[in-house]
Amino acid sequence: MTKYVYLIDHWSFDGLIVLIAENDMRAFALVITDPEIEFQEGDTDAVMNEITNATKMKLSDDYECGIISAISSGVIE
């Protein structure tokens, strides 16, 4: 199965989430279930929008799906 590295802008503050997933729905599931990523039900549309518009790079090897890194400046806009 083809997998991609996603570079996702955090939807509510200055930050970046890097993850591996097969598709946008899997990326969404990884983001909303990660306990360290601030997600609220009201963020659903914003999260999906950022995932849909994320930079995606196709992987040539098979890697496990998951979040690689979540970086935040801690500044809330």
**Structure confidence at residue 51 (pLDDT):** 95
**Structure confidence at residue 73 (pLDDT):** 65
- In terms of Cβ atoms closer than 10 Å to its own Cβ (0-12, 13-18, 19+), residue 4 is buried
Task: Give the model confidence (pLDDT) of 3-31 as tens digits.
Answer: 999 999 887 767 889 999 999 999 999 99
Which structural domain range is residue 25 located in? 4-76
Helical axes 24-33 vs 44-52, angle rounded to 10°: 140
HEC assignment per residue over 35-72: CCCCCCHHHHHHHHHHHHCCEEEECCCCCCCEEEEEEE
Query: How many structural domains comprise the chain?
Result: 1
Single pTM value for the model? 0.84
